Amino acid sequence: MAGESRVPLLAIGWILLVAVYVDAKHIVYMNRVEVINNLKYANATADIRRYGPSLRNYVADFRVEAFQTFTNAMVSTIYYVPNLAGRYDKAFYNRTINFCTYLRQPATDRVLKMVYENLMQRGHLPKRCPITAGTYAFNTSFDGLQLPGFLPESNFRFDLNFHRGAPNYELVFHGYWYGEIRRVAS
């Protein structure tokens, strides 16, 4: 009889665990950002501003001044989680696509689409090619970002790299965004 009462309790426990997991969402907390520029093409800057009583709240400010028009640009989105030694050696997700193709057909990259649509609501970013010379910027806390469920709850580094397209694939800028993803009940 004692074994019979454990089975329903175990089943109820699993159901509650699954319900909490399904009802959870990912929250992104940014810690720092580093940017490397090729001042021949652009000057990108990024900053994480903290506010509130515990300084736990933040806003990520990003601004890029494009010095010339780009008719062909490549974007790499690379997502790393640290290994046991704390190094970001192997990418969990790594995708490079033609940015102009993405702007024409956003469904070509699901992860970039989730991030880019969120940022478009919070700033001024390119909507089509050619990408004209000028200033593009956003500021966000990534609070409305809907992340895919396969991303683990962990620290991360997200690389956002822009290059000129063929034939030279020259660096425009590299951005290294460090933070953590937490799963919270919605």
Q: Per residue in 6-34, pLDDT tens?
A: 555 555 544 544 444 445 678 888 999 99
User: Residues 57-65: what's their mean pLDDT?
Assistant: 93
Give CA–CA dist 155/91, Å, rounded: 13
What pLDDT does residue 6 have? 54
Residue 148 within any structural domain of the chain: yes
Selected residue with higher pLDDT from 21 and 72: 72
Whether the per-residue pLDDT at 72 is higher than 70: the answer is yes
Please indicate, yes or no, if residue 2 is contained in any of the structural domains: no
Q: Is 90 exceeded by the pLDDT of residue 106?
A: yes
Q: Say whether pLDDT at 65 is over 90.
A: yes
Give the CATH number, domain containing residue 152.
Answer: 2.70.220
Task: Find all residues with CB under 8 Å of 38, minimum gap 6, and list them.
Answer: 170, 171, 172, 173
pLDDT recorded at residue 14 = 45
Structural domain contains residue 115: yes
User: For 86, which DSSP code?
Assistant: S
One-letter-per-residue 3-state SS of 19-81? HHHHCEEEEEEEEEEEEEECCCCEEEEEEEEEECCCCCEEEEEEEEEECCCECCEEEEEEEEC
Among 48, 178, 67, 78, smallest CA distance to 133 is for: 67
* Residue 142 placed within a domain: yes
Is 16 among the domain residues? no
Parent domain of 155: 23-185
Question: What's the count of helices (H) and strands (E) in the chain, helices before strands?
Answer: 3, 9
Residue 97 has pLDDT above 90, yes or no: yes
Q: Could you tell me if residue 141 is inside a domain? A: yes
For the entire predicted model, the pTM comes to: 0.81
Res 20: pLDDT: 40
State how far the Cα of 136 lies from the Cα of 133, in Å rounded to an integer. Answer: 9
Q: How many domains does the chain have?
A: 1
pLDDT tens readout for residues 115-147 = 888 888 889 999 999 999 999 999 988 877 777
pLDDT score at 17: 41
Q: Sorting pLDDT into bands at 50, 70 and 90, what band is 5?
A: low
Let me know if residue 8 belongs to a domain: no
Mean pLDDT, rounded, of the chain: 85
Q: Is residue 12 part of a domain?
A: no
